[in-house]
Amino acid sequence: MVNSLVKDWENVFEETVPKEIKDSYMRIKRAFEIMLTEAEPEVGLTPKEVIWTKNKTKLYRYISNQPTKHKTPFLMVYALINKPYILDITPGFSLVEYLVNRGFDVYLLDWGTPGEEDKHMKLDDYILDYIPKAVKKVLKTSGADEISMLGYCMGGTMTSVFASLHPELPIKNLVFMASPFDFENTGLYGRMLDERYFNVDKVVETYGNVPPEMIDFGNKMLKPMTNFYGPYVSLMDRSQNQRFVDSWKLMQKWLTDGIPFPGEAYRQWIREFYQQNKLIKGELVVRGRKVDLSKIKANVLNISAEKDLIAMPHQVEALMDAVSSEDKQYVCISTGHISITFGPKAVRETFPTIADWLEERSN
């Protein structure tokens, strides 16, 4: 009886409803199927092996059937928020895959997911205990005398601090991608995190590790209508475009797959970088050691995204006058903070920019 009524209703719907309404209904129906019933996409599919661990952190080496063309290994460092598979999100749109296919020996530092027991971890610990050991492991594994590194977002800021504090290590090339260095003018972030109104100590005391939902909410508030509602409006409108749907599902998976921010590291990040702008001023001290960006002499490729509201171009470009590198290049790509590494423009512009620059400096 019920099936008969449903079939009768579908027949009436098909015969009497205008095409425009039918099309809209089918798009909305398809959108809800995508959001509610379809499986999440697989990510991080480039073959890899774990070659070193420390606490939750893992160091991956990517595996290729092709011989390595460039003798200088390439280590990627991501931020302490979200997960680093944005750099290897799916075949065809993966920076890792692209570089492996171009003949690079690629490694990735995955910080893992901190637990309550990690709330006392500071930036000092990651920068002075974790990154140096990962670099030494890459050098030992590859048998190379020098290393290239890439830092994305906060990972680039941390890498700059690490490199300035370790001039003795054989760092040949540094690639920074959408990484902020000057926090004097951070737009809406600066207003939200103004120390007169934002009590970072209360946040850390309340949460211990800062939940990813809080970080995500702050990022979305930079453009609330676009970030909160835009993805779902776009899905409703383009739900029958399978190529768009595939990309949409990948991005939503990554955006909602955040990890907690270790409390003490968060306190430092907000107070010493956003509120006090110590890095570019030369006032940052990490475990008793003063950070001087002029100690960086490696070759530098510094990439910003023109439409980035998280690491705005002027925040990124500020590094260029701070380092002592003779070989340094600044590139601004007409894209956003995430689309600089995921999407058609990333494949067409970001990936070749990095690979071409590295090829000239990796042998």
Q: Which of 70, 105, 182, 337 is catalytic?
A: 337
> How many Cβ atoms from other residues are within 10 Å of residue 216's Cβ?
16
Quote the CA–CA distance of 69 and 258 in Å, as a whole number. 35
**By the 8 A CB rule, do 171 and 188 touch?**
no
Q: Which of 308, 314, 332, 356 is catalytic?
A: 308
201 in helix, strand or coil? helix
**By the 8 A CB rule, do 283 and 311 touch?**
no
**By the 8 A CB rule, do 276 and 282 touch?**
no
Quote the CA–CA distance of 220 and 192 in Å, as a whole number. 12
Q: Which of 110, 118, 125, 153 is catalytic?
A: 153
Q: Is 153 a catalytic residue?
A: yes
Provide the b/e sequence for 121-141 (b: ≥16 CB within 10 Å).
bbbbbbbbbbbeebbebbbee
Residue 57: what are its φ and ψ, rounded to 5°? -80, 140
Residue 117 burial by Cβ neighbours in a 10 Å radius (0-12, 13-18, 19+): exposed
Provide the b/e sequence for 94-116 (b: ≥16 CB within 10 Å).
bbbbbbbebbbbbbbbbbbebee
Cα separation values, 145 from 67, 105, 142, 325, 361, Å: 19, 13, 9, 19, 14
Tokens of 142: 């590859």
Q: Is 337 a catalytic residue?
A: yes
Pinpoint the alpha helices (H) of the chain: 2-16, 19-36, 95-101, 123-125, 131-142, 154-165, 188-192, 200-207, 212-220, 224, 230-238, 242-255, 263-268, 278-281, 313-317, 319-322, 344-345, 351-359
Do the bridges between strand 57-62 and strand 106-110 make them parallel or antiparallel, or are there none, so unpaired?
antiparallel
Residue 21 burial by Cβ neighbours in a 10 Å radius (0-12, 13-18, 19+): exposed
Active site members: 153, 308, 337
